[in-house]
Every structure is written in structure tokens, then in C-alpha cells.
Amino acid sequence: MQAIGKTFWRELLAQDLATARRVLPSRIAATDELIQRLRSGAAVEPAHKAIPRELAKELLRGRPAGEIYHDPCFTGDEEEAELLSDLPPLEIAGFSPVLFEDLVDLGVRLKRPRPQTVLAWQRAVEELRRFAGVDANYVDRELAQRFRDHLLDKGLKISTIKTRINYIKGLFNLAVEEGVLDRNPFVGVVKRLSVSQPPREAVDIQYADSRSMRLGSEYLIYQLLRWTGCRLAEILGIEIEDVDLQEGVLHIREKTDRPLKTPHSARVVPIHTHLLRPLEELSAAGNRPFEKYYDPATTRWGGGITWSKTVGCSPHSLRHHATSSMRSAGISETVIGAVLGHAVPGMTARYGTVSIELKRQAITSIQ
């Protein structure tokens, strides 16, 4: 190595491991060429060698034609870029492509998510795939930031952007933990995006009650939400067997087409006295009385239910009203959480259960 005045040297391949692996073959080829020239006695300048054209073309195989054409290593025309794009990607030892579908499959296998979550994952990664035009292991920090800016340019709400990117970030995190990817370029990408929280909707419950009959066939749904504090999908997905009038309770159970939001959502809710007659009417409406409110295309319940113009509040605001009523009556947060299906933080929640009597007191306090 006297020819270049060094016994060893180092070269920065890239700023991230994925890119470094991609350019490694070209650097090895350049190093081999340097060694051969040194062995032959040829003069060598201590400078970086350009990637041989044929090797550069091999590294570009399978990438989008536009990306190939504008790559500094490519010297051909647009037709040649199209032909190169149609070739299968170069397989580099220890570095096989990671598809976005692979990330979703990994999440499904390890986390056993609910169908809505899987659908959200698929939508988020498909939009990223179309935007990126490369496999998941080629997504770097710069591309992640450009994807965020792409969503901003579309005029989406900040909350929507944060949700979509957080879905993607969660899948990348899982892939990193499992050794499928070596880094997560989406960490911190939406950290500085601030969401202005609108003021919580104030419910004039007397006004809403006085106009609730105008809801027509949805009046019964209003009553069930009004006096249970349940989520809309929980009520719409119930079956007649979930209603036990003899024991005076409503069972919120997991359904194939109506998965619950969290494990804590499965619970028993006491029946308020105001619901006894409505629930008797419900028993005559078939096994799934609200089945028509299910949309199989989106796997959602009650997507078209909006009441603000009719009664002055949304279905979910009735859950807030029930919470406020119980809290105003001095019901403890642990009992309120048990009624609503919330996870109660802290060690207290790990021991014992909330009795049905305490839940009944909480439900009775709803005004």
C-alpha cells in the first residue's frame, strides 16, 4: 500500500445502513480494481473511483423508470430506463427487498389486530408505496419527510396526517424489533405537527331529549346511547341475546363483524330504568336489530348517523354527557371506567373488579 501512502483506509458508504448495503457491491468492485492496478504496478491516484457504468446499471434494475433516468449513475435514454426498470432487482447477499405488504403481514401475525386496524394499515402503506415507488427497505428519512409534506399539500387535517404516519411508524417499529429492517425513518416525522383541539361539544341534554323523537327509527339508538354511555358501534352491533332483562344488564361482547375497541371494552352494563320499555321493543326487532347500519365495505357501524342538526348533538357526545353525569354525582373514576369500558391506569386496576352494584349506582346517576 505504499503506492497510496496508507496501510488501510475507510470510506463512508452512506448515511444509513440500507443505502450502504445497496452501494456496497460498487465499492467492492472499485476496491478490487484498485488492488489489481496496484499489483500491476500502474499509477494510482488516491481518489474515489467512479462506479463502472455496467455495475451502476445493475444496481438500478427494478427501480421506477423515472428514478433510473434521473439517477446520476445512469447515462442512457428514457427507453433504456424503461427496459432497466422491467428487470428484476439485483439480489445482494443478505439484503432482500422488504415489501410494504410484508410489514402488514408481520403486524397481523404478531399483534393480532382488529379488522379496522388492518384496513387502516393497508390504506396507509399503499399510499406510501405509491408515493415512494420503492420497497420499504429503501425508505429513508428524507423520503419519510417528503411523504409527510405530500400529505400536508393534499390539505388533510393534521390529526389525519398524524394518524396515518403513526400507523406506518408502528409497522416500521415492529419490523425493526424483529430484525426485518434496520431503522425506522418515521420516528419524529410528525413530532412538530400540532393539532388544535376544538372545544368539546357542550350538550344541552334537555333540548336534545325534547327533539329526539324527530330521529324516527334512530330514536331507539338515541335512547340506548343516552342511558348507557356506550359507544355507537357497541350499541349498533348488539344481538338480542346480549340483552338480559331478567338480570337487568346489557352485555357488550366481541362480535366477528363488530370487534371492540380495546380488551377493556368487553363488559356488563346495567340497564337504566328509562331503557326497560325501549329494550322490550327491541326484542321484537330480530336478532340483529341494527344490522342495516353496518357497512361491509368499510367494516364500520353507523357511518351515516349524524344528529347535530336534528337534536343539537352527535351520538358520541351522549357518551360525554353520561361521563359528566356520573362524575358530578361523585362516582369514582374506577367505576366510571368500568361502565364505559375504559382502561383504568395504575396498580388499583390490577386488583379486584367493580361490582355490578357499583356500576348500577353509576348508571342510575345519569341524568
Q: H or E element: which one contains 92? A: none
Residue range(s) occupied by CATH 1.10.150 in the chain: 100-177
The number of C-alpha atoms within 13 Å of 243 and in the hemisphere containing its C-beta is 27
Top CATH class of 100-177 equals mainly alpha
Only one residue has cell 359507544, namely 231
Which amino acid is present at 252?
I
CATH tag for 205-364 (out of 1.10.443, 2.60.40, 1.20.1740, 3.30.70): 1.10.443
- d(CA 347, CA 350) in angstroms, rounded, equals 5
Residue range(s) occupied by CATH 1.10.443 in the chain: 205-364
Grid coordinates standing for 144? Answer: 419519510
Helices 53-60 and 17-40, interaxial angle, to 10°?
160
Residue 295, Cβ neighbours under 10 Å: how many? 12
pTM summary value: 0.56
pLDDT number for residue 132:
85
pLDDT number for residue 74:
72
pLDDT number for residue 278:
85
Among the listed residues 223, 216, 245, 233, the one whose alpha carbon sits nearest the alpha carbon of residue 322: 223
pLDDT tens, per residue, the chain with 367 residues:
455 555 555 565 655 565 666 666 666 766 777 677 777 766 554 443 344 455 556 667 777 888 777 776 677 788 888 888 887 766 544 456 788 888 999 999 998 887 878 888 999 999 998 888 878 888 888 889 999 999 998 888 888 899 999 999 999 999 999 888 888 999 999 888 876 656 666 788 999 999 999 999 899 999 999 999 999 999 999 999 999 999 999 999 998 888 887 778 899 999 999 998 888 888 777 889 999 999 887 778 888 888 989 999 999 999 999 999 999 999 999 999 999 998 766 545 555 678 999 999 999 999 8
- d(CA 208, CA 344) in angstroms, rounded, equals 30
